[in-house]
Amino acid sequence: MTAGRRRLRRAARDIGIQIGAFVLSMLFFLVLLVLLGYDAGQALGALWDGSAGTTRALGVSLSEATPVILTGVAVWLAAQGGLFNIGADGQLQIGGLAALVCVMLLGLPENGAVLVPVGLLAAALAGAGWAAIAALLKTYRGANEIVSTLMLNFIAAIAISELIRGPLQSETNPYTPQTESIPVAAQLPTLVDGTQLTWGIVIALAVAAVVLLVVTRARSGLRLRAIGLNREAARYSGVSVPRYWLVAMVASGALCGLAGGLVLLGLRYYIAPGWASAWGFQGVLVAFLAMRTPFLIPVWGVLFGMLSSAGPVLKGTASVPDSVVTMMQTLPVVVLFVLYAAARWLRGERLASIFRRGEAPA
């Protein structure tokens, strides 16, 4: 069998496992709902109506998916170099903040052709800068990037929560902690009339496609993956590990920042407590779900977007509480890893010795 066919077969198996995981987790969810005494038919109806049943619902699903696609690709990109960027949430929030500040406070002309590009560029740069802190700590100090990006998430969240109570507090709405809305000119144009879906989804998909192509096809991307697979081997073959880490982390941050910019200019329009939903952590989950088949990241992004969109409808018509919907988000991950473990077990891969294949532990 040629290498190409073998790769195709492996990809087909991975895709099959992922589809199986999603279908199974949905089945589990329905069984769970029945066991808890909810009406499964009603819940299934609500799930469909809330996520894809109407044009409007589909618009909400895709709007919610937009940031997840970008954060998912961002986390995946960093992971290719062996880095965990769990700072997606902080980078997204800082990106949104930068977009807001730039379109409102720079005194730019109220023209979409100026405001939108400036806002998105500012968002990407801010996200990149935020991630750069963790990247520098990692490359020059060897500091664990998992911990530093986690710290930076808290710093971003606390700083924004203080800013919207202080300097950025809305004057028209002085009693609730929130900012003014961005000017209408700065809002992303709607893609489909009658929905809240904007061109943001197109931008997100295009950027995601470019990043995926570069990392899987271009020489620099392959070098980054070489670092992720075996850092020492990459170093001895002449790849500058610190430089690639720096670039990968900063690019990852830029993607998350852009996600924040798209949310601010296309979905939320102002910053209030809780404005950035679970997109950062959903990005981490999506990246790890599709780690071996990155072109499925947008698909998982849309599926998570559909779950987010269906949540309020599930609560409204089938009275399924938020807490159950929150738990449901973890189901695909758990089911997928159970399936992987089962596949390993079926292949007869026993958990023998660490050094069985003569591999040195990293």
Partner 1 sequence: MSLDIFISADFWSAMVRVSAPIALAALACTIASRAGLLFIAVEGTMLLAAFFSIAGTAWTGSIVLGVVIAAVAGVVCALVFGVLSMTLRMGDVVAGLTVHVGALGLAPFLAAELFPNGASIGSRSLRPIWPSFGGSVGDVLFHQQPLVYLAILVAIGMTLFLRTRSGLRVRSSGESLRVAQALGVKLVRLRFAVLAVSGALAGLAGAVLGLGAGSFDLNVVSGQGFIGLACVMLGAWQPLGVLLAAAVFATAYAVQFRVDAIGGWIQLFPYVLTLVAMAVAWGRVQGPPEEGRGLPDGAAR
Kindly list the residues in this chain that would bind partner 1 in the complex (CB under 8 A). 84, 86, 133, 137, 141-144, 146-148, 150-152, 154-155, 158-159, 161-162, 165-166, 278, 281, 284-285, 288, 321-330, 333-334, 337-338, 340-341, 349-357, 359-362
> HSE of 54 in the Cβ direction (CA atoms, 13 Å)?
14
State residue 190 phi and psi, 5-degree precision: -70, 140
Distance between CA atoms of 210 and 295, rounded to whole angstroms? 11
CB of 25 to partner 1, least distance (A): 12
Nearest to partner 1 of 161, 181 (CB atom) = 161
CB of 133 to partner 1, least distance (A): 7
CB of 110 to partner 1, least distance (A): 33
CB of 190 to partner 1, least distance (A): 32
CB of 198 to partner 1, least distance (A): 28
CB of 259 to partner 1, least distance (A): 18
Nearest to partner 1 of 209, 334 (CB atom) = 334
CB of 22 to partner 1, least distance (A): 16
Nearest to partner 1 of 164, 201 (CB atom) = 164
| Residues 71 and 283 sit within 8 Å (Cβ to Cβ) | yes
Nearest to partner 1 of 68, 188 (CB atom) = 68
> HSE of 181 in the Cβ direction (CA atoms, 13 Å)?
10
Distance between CA atoms of 49 and 53, rounded to whole angstroms? 4
| Residues 324 and 36 sit within 8 Å (Cβ to Cβ) | yes
Amino acid identity, residue 154? Answer: F
Nearest to partner 1 of 86, 98 (CB atom) = 86
The H or E element containing residue 217 is helix 200-217
Per-residue tokens: 34: 């029945």
CB of 47 to partner 1, least distance (A): 16
Q: In whole angstroms, how far apart are CA 165 and each of 99, 152, 177, 274? A: 18, 20, 5, 14
Nearest to partner 1 of 158, 233 (CB atom) = 158
Nearest to partner 1 of 133, 313 (CB atom) = 133
Distance between CA atoms of 83 and 250, rounded to whole angstroms? 12
Distance between CA atoms of 96 and 254, rounded to whole angstroms? 12
Nearest to partner 1 of 83, 265 (CB atom) = 83
Q: In whole angstroms, how far apart are CA 306 and each of 38, 47, 51, 158, 203? A: 20, 8, 5, 29, 19
Nearest to partner 1 of 58, 64 (CB atom) = 64
Nearest to partner 1 of 117, 273 (CB atom) = 273
State residue 67 phi and psi, 5-degree precision: -65, -35
Distance between CA atoms of 75 and 280, rounded to whole angstroms? 9
Q: Which residues contact 3 (CB under 8 A, 6 or more apart)?
A: none
| Residues 104 and 302 sit within 8 Å (Cβ to Cβ) | no
CB of 108 to partner 1, least distance (A): 29
CB of 39 to partner 1, least distance (A): 17
DSSP assignment, residue 172? Answer: S
